[in-house]
Amino acid sequence: MSAQVIDGKAVAAAVRSEVADGVTQFRAKYGRAPGLVGIQVGDDPASELYQAGKARAADEVGMVSRRITLPDTTSQADLDALIDELNADTSVDGMLVQLPVPAQLSEPLIANRIHPDKDVDGFSPVNLGRLMRGEPGNIPCTPQGVMRLLRDGGVPLEGAHAVVIGRSLIVGKPQSMLLLQTNCTVTVAHSRTRNLAELCRQADILVAAVGQAEMVRADWVRPGAAVIDVGINRTPDGLRGDVAYDEVAEIAGWITPVPGGVGPTTIAYLLSNTLAAAYRRSEIHA
Ligand code: GUN
């Protein structure tokens, strides 16, 4: 058996096109474009690439994007002052601080400082609380992308056993909530999980978000299962996911490639969150 490859680039293009239509309607109604600001502290090359990609994608759907790059010695007080300024700026609908940040800065302080309505990453306590409660709010982008890949791939969710490997705030935890909301039975596995391979073999849906190149092998996968690879690992042989793609593709029912799987959908949902945030703010202040 050979897996159906879920094409993340095509799925992301569909999401971006929906957002572009939404931006056109938003401009017609409110006479301005939704605004997204990306903040980067320091000059980490990977962060630089991500930030450039996010800004370009925002421009392409007709939003106004702004990139702010601060020196890697920036203090928490200075970053807080910038966040406060953007919180008060009515032309800004969404902002994000690219992670990781240098050691003198605190990710929890940042997540608590950004106004929840402008927190398009969905990492703030308020937005994560809303997600857990099932209330509307900004939902983290990568897990939203994974749900769309499953949906567009035609993977049955109702009553399925989903195993998420990884318990991060960015992916594992919000992913488990979204899968639960769609009536999956969810197991969250992590580095201390016993008999991980055996557990993964029980999954109808396996989401790998651990950050270890090619950790998920063919004998971890139940024949016919959907395998979603969130990993982006830079190895001497090039970019690799958390899944040993070639051998798992022989066993799985569905699989996402790296690159070209989850990655493109993450940026697409950042745009979707920004548009939704712009509508929410405009409707409140109309
Ligand atoms: N670093 C890695 N992934 C992300 C993300 O989704 N958002 C931000 N802000 N930083 C990241």
CB 33 within 8 A of CB 27: yes
Structure tokens at 266: 């993450």
Q: What gap in Å lies between CA 97 and CA 185, rounded to an integer?
A: 33
pLDDT tens readout for residues 70-91 = 999 999 999 999 999 999 999 9
Query: Atom 11, ligand 1: which residue's CA is nearest?
Result: 99
- For ligand 1, say whether the CB of 99 is within 6 Å of any of its atoms: yes
CA of 278 to the centre of ligand 1 (A): 20
Q: Look at ligand 1, atom 4, and give the residue with the nearest C-alpha.
A: 99
The structure tokens 């006479």 sit at 31
pLDDT digits (tens, 9 = 90+) for 138-194: 999 999 999 999 999 999 999 999 999 999 999 999 999 999 999 999 999 999 999
Mean pLDDT of 226-231: 98
Q: Where in the chain is the domain with CATH 3.40.50.10860?
A: 31-115
CB 81 within 8 A of CB 110: no
Distance in angstroms (rounded) separating the CA atoms of residues 285 and 219: 55
Class of domain 141-263: alpha beta
Q: Phi first, then psi: what are they for 253, rounded to 5°?
A: -85, -35
* Distance in Å, CA 78 to ligand 1 centroid: 21
Distance 31 CA to ligand 1 centre (A): 30
**Region(s) of the chain under CATH 3.40.50.720:** 141-263
Beta bridge partners of residue 243, listed in sequence order: 216
- Which of 256, 53, 240, 64 minimizes the C-alpha distance to 147? 256
Query: Of the candidates 273, 276, 256, 253, which has an alpha carbon nearest to the alpha carbon of residue 264?
Result: 256
Domain 31-115 CATH (choose: 3.40.50.10860, 3.20.20.70, 3.40.720.10, 3.10.20.30): 3.40.50.10860
Catalytic positions are 54, 98, 121
> What pLDDT shows up at residue 284?
73
Ligand 1 in reach of 96 Cβ (< 6 A): yes
